[in-house]
Amino acid sequence: MLEEQRGKNPKYCFTFRGERIQRAITNTAWYSALEAAGIGNFRFHDLRHTWASWHRQAGTSCG
């Protein structure tokens, strides 16, 4: 899903109608998006965990 977003915006990954998302995603928006994508049992925090794991695997420093 994230790979599909590559190149759609020169600076931001998460956008809405071409603009960066400036406020926290509401529970309604998050759950609607999960349902539309057919994804169950997934939290927004899981995205952060995945991102952090990829950085650690790539050797990025924690400090």
In a domain, 45, yes or no: yes
In a domain, 24, yes or no: yes
Contact 12, 20 (CB under 8 A): yes
pLDDT for the residue numbered 36: 95
In a domain, 12, yes or no: yes
Q: Token pair 């509401």 is at which residue?
A: 26
In a domain, 34, yes or no: yes
Which residues span the domain enclosing 39? 2-57
In a domain, 62, yes or no: no
pLDDT for the residue numbered 25: 65
pLDDT for the residue numbered 11: 86
Model pTM?
A: 0.45
pLDDT for the residue numbered 56: 87
Read off the pLDDT of residues 1-60 as tens digits, 9 standing for 90 and up: 778 878 888 888 778 888 887 776 678 888 898 999 999 988 888 888 888 889 889 998
In a domain, 50, yes or no: yes
Contact 18, 9 (CB under 8 A): yes
In a domain, 23, yes or no: yes
- Give how many domains the chain has, as a whole number: 1
In a domain, 63, yes or no: no
